[in-house]
Amino acid sequence: MRVIAAMSGGVDSAVAAARAVEAGHDVTGIHLALSRNPASYRSGARGCCTIEDSNDARRAADIIGIPFYVWDLSERFHEDVVEDFKAEYAAGRTPNPCLRCNEKIKFEAVLDRALALGFDAVVTGHYAEVRPAADGDGVELHRAQDGAKDQSYVLGVLTQDQLRHALFPLADTPKPLVREEAARRGLLVADKPDSHDICFVADGDSAGWLREKMPDIVGTAPGAIVDESGAVVGSHEGTLGMTIGQRRGLRLGVPAADGKPRFVLDIEPVSGVVTVGPREHLAVDRITGIKPRWCGTVPTRLEGAGVTVQLRAHGDEHRAVVVVGGDGSEVAIELLDPAYGIAPGQAAVIYDGTRVVGSATIAATGREQGAR
């Protein structure tokens, strides 16, 4: 096949490209320029959008012996990822820009361009597996064998058509062996540290970045911290940097009656009121999901021993019953294992065993009285 290898400048994508060549594919490497001013994004080894990364990707392509190009997707990235990030926070939600980037950039914009240019698939260094569907119709997305590096959560937004044109050569290899292989191949990125956090937030301070870009954004004004009875127990300088489940940095002036720590239970970005309480009151066993994305056939109801939901990248799996609404626009999730500190805007990725069924954006959470 003629394939595009998306090369971030890191070790995973470099080894994935090399393996694609060894598998007999006609491979062309591409690096995505996601900012017209790369210096405004992360620098050094912490990021995935820098000039340094572009140079690392080019050197890796030269060593592998494949053509290499830089594709400028900065406008698309700004509109679909950066602006979406800002809009979600402005609405009081907590977005995951990595999922949005996979959905809108790496497996929509890139794949659309690749197919238009006559390529058959896109290769990436994600740790996940695409395999033929059990019923012989289409393909399925599964967890990688290395559970510590599994990235199926951030790929739960991919559709069946996108998965049919995706190759993940690292599915069966633990990360330490990938680094060893890179060294054997003479790839200079063999020991390059993994990227972390949000690539377009230069210093890792998301709240500070939002205040700079959107000085009038909801959540920047000081407000009250109250307990569950409504009594004021402290104050804050803005809800923007606060998260559901937060314990540290609250500086509460009134201790709890039982002397135990209190956690952020609820954040009201418009009024600025933050409610705190005991950890057990963070428990959630009801989730309403919207904007579902399905990796294959749209289900109506999922239940059984293998059905789980993951609510954070590298987070725990929770046994669940999943029901899709009649018009398909809403997903009701009952968690049989309660979760803690879950906020609207996060993604709920649904699994059946190791298979990714799909995902939805969390719109609301709740707790059934007397639930298990």
Residues 340 and 317 in one domain: yes
Query: d(Cα 159, Cα 108) in Å, to the nearest integer?
Result: 10
Instruction: Answer whether residue 372 is part of any domain.
Output: no
- Whether 264 shows a pLDDT value over 70: the answer reads yes
Query: d(Cα 217, Cα 273) in Å, to the nearest integer?
Result: 16
DSSP of 267-328: EETTTTEEEEE-GGGGEEEEEEEEEEEESSSPPSEE-STTEEEE-STT--EEEEEEEE-TTS
Question: Which range among 57-71, 259-273, 313-327 has the greatest average pLDDT?
Answer: 57-71
Instruction: Answer whether residue 179 is part of any domain.
Output: yes
Asked which of 166, 184, 202 is the last residue of a domain, the reply is 184
199 included as an active-site residue? yes
- Measured in Å, how far apart are the chain's first and last C-alpha atoms? 51
- Whether 143 shows a pLDDT value over 50: the answer reads yes
- Whether 48 shows a pLDDT value over 70: the answer reads no
Residues 80 and 126 in one domain: yes
Residues 269 and 334 in one domain: no
Helices (H), ranges, 120-202: 160-164, 175-184
Residues 268 and 322 in one domain: no
Asked which of 137, 167, 184 is the last residue of a domain, the reply is 184
Mean pLDDT, residues 159-164 = 96
Report pLDDT for 47: 47
Beta-strand relationship, 263-268 and 273-277: antiparallel
Identify the CATH number of the domain in which residue 163 sits: 3.40.50.620
Identify the CATH number of the domain in which residue 241 sits: 2.30.30.280
- Whether 119 shows a pLDDT value over 80: the answer reads yes
Identify the residue whose tokens are 């058509």.
161
In this prediction, what percent of the chain has a pLDDT beyond 70? 94
Residues 48 and 164 in one domain: yes
Provide the b/e sequence for 168-196 (b: ≥16 CB within 10 Å): bbbbebbbeebbebbeebebebbebeebe
Task: Tell me the pLDDT band of 141, cut-offs 50, 70 and 90.
Answer: very high
Residues 152 and 82 in one domain: yes
Active site residue: 48, 98, 101, 295, which one? 101
48 included as an active-site residue? no
336 versus 134: the higher-pLDDT residue is 336
Report pLDDT for 331: 97
Which residues, other chains included, contact 58 with Cβ-Cβ below 8 Å and sequence gap of 6+?
31, 68
- Whether 216 shows a pLDDT value over 80: the answer reads no
- Whether 94 shows a pLDDT value over 90: the answer reads no
- Whether 271 shows a pLDDT value over 60: the answer reads yes
Asked which of 257, 277, 297 is the last residue of a domain, the reply is 277
Query: d(Cα 279, Cα 332) in Å, to the nearest integer?
Result: 24
Task: Tell me the pLDDT band of 45, cut-offs 50, 70 and 90.
Answer: very low
- Write out the H or E segment, with its range, that includes residue 22: helix 11-22
Residues 255 and 296 in one domain: no
**How many structural domains does the chain have?**
3
Determine what percent of the chain falls in helix, strand and coil, rounding each to the nearest 5. Answer: 30, 30, 45
Mean residue pLDDT of the chain comes to 89
Report pLDDT for 38: 53
Active site residue: 49, 98, 199, 295, which one? 199
Domain range for 291 is 281-366
Q: What is the dihedral of CA 313, 319, 325, 327, to 10 degrees?
A: 50
Structure tokens at 151: 């990235």
